[in-house]
Amino acid sequence: MSDSRRTDAVLLLVALVWGSSYLSAQTATSALPVLVVLFARYALSALACLGLVAAGRGKERERGGDFRLWTREEVRAGLPLGVTQAAVLVVETYGVAHTTAANAGLIISLTIVLTPLLDRAGHPGGLPPAFYAAAGVCVLAVGLLMSGNGFHAPRLGDLLMLGAALVRAVHVALVGRLTTGRPIRPLHLTTFQTVIGTALFLPAAASDLPVLVRADSGTWAQLLYLALFCSVFAFLAQTWAVQRTSASRASLLLGTEPIWAAAIGIALGGEHLTPLTALGATLMVTGTYWGQSVERAHRAAQAKVLAPAAPTRPILSLGAAPPDPPTALNGPRPQTPDRLDGADRR
């Protein structure tokens, strides 16, 4: 297999893993309270990330590099980002517990068109009309996805996923504001955020921890998958891959996440798409890709006008990658049209 195909395969695998996280979270929350699931996911991710950081510190010490656990810049950025990332996952996980995995994965992709609307610094002259047209397609898609078999009051889970997309867009915009141009190490920032999330969810989950201890092997498998694969593995694999391909190609491949979410929800979760929701899914994927393409072209054009010699920044999907640090919970769910931030993810 050539290097380019290997890189493409890794990015597709990351998108698949992120897409599968919605059904996995839904399964876990059917057995455990949502806050317990979030605490376990954060705690397991934190342990894995701390292990990776500890291993890296030994090598940095040998090379005479910076082997501090966290720098002042990483703490300063990590505190607010840890809180906003936790907010994303709270709303998102409650949402996926009350809707289908397919709808969850599709609606959360609204982050791609919401983020540029909030990121005024990235578009000082405003966005082109075509971007708003793409956003309108996405809004129509959300209405169809919420309709199910016919137009009616939206389900609680769909509304929560809509809220999660908005909160995630705020988080992503904040990532850019707090990290751009600063000497921040992505893995260390991610680790700090997982520690913050663990501390935030521990008090809320403490009374139900005996339930977690008694959880069966299937539930623990879901928790380990969410923490180690959907968060830590996806972060590392994405960081490796995006350094070996173009921003456009990475964006295209990582943007398949909602497609995988719908496919896995149908194939493994026994979910069904009605004609209306199938149309909504098609419009959502079309609208997000269109909006992402318009935003990317607009940003590149502005970069040429403002700084002809400056390289354009990578524009990726819902995850995280340099130069703007990832956040390993998809989440490290990163989720983004301009910066990869992960969950957040999811």
At residue 5, the pLDDT reads 87
Percentage of the residues of the chain whose pLDDT score is greater than 70: 81
pLDDT at 180 over 70: yes
pLDDT top residue among 26 and 180: 26
342 has a pLDDT exceeding 70: no
Give the per-residue SS3 of 97-166. Answer: CCCCHHHHHHHHCCHHHHHHHHCHHHCCCCCCHHHHHHHHHHHHHHHHHHHCCCCCCCCHHHHHHHHHHH
Spatial distance between the Cα atoms of 251 and 316, rounded to a whole number of angstroms? 4
- pLDDT score of 2: 80
pLDDT range class, residue 61, cuts 50, 70, 90? low
- Rounded CA-CA distance 111/324 in Å is 17
pLDDT tens digits, 256-304? 999 999 999 999 999 988 888 899 999 999 998 898 888 888 878 877 7
d(CA 179, CA 182) in angstroms, rounded, equals 5
Q: How far apart are CA 137 and CA 128, in angstroms?
A: 15
pLDDT band at 313 (very low <50, low <70, confident <90, very high): very low
pLDDT at 318 over 80: no
Q: Which residue has the higher pLDDT, 314 or 251?
A: 251
Answer with the residue of higher pLDDT: 335 or 139.
Answer: 139
pLDDT per residue as tens digits for the range 113-141: 888 888 765 666 778 899 899 999 999 99
| Confidence (pLDDT) at 58 | 67
149 vs 188: which has the higher pLDDT: 188
**Residue 8 pLDDT more than 50?**
yes
Torsion angle of alpha carbons 90, 92, 96, 100, nearest 10°?
A: 170
Q: How confident is the model at residue 333 (pLDDT cuts 50, 70, 90)?
A: very low
Q: Given this model, what pLDDT does residue 64 score?
A: 63
Give the predicted TM-score (pTM) of the model.
Answer: 0.83
The tens digit of pLDDT for each residue in 23-33 reads 999 999 999 99
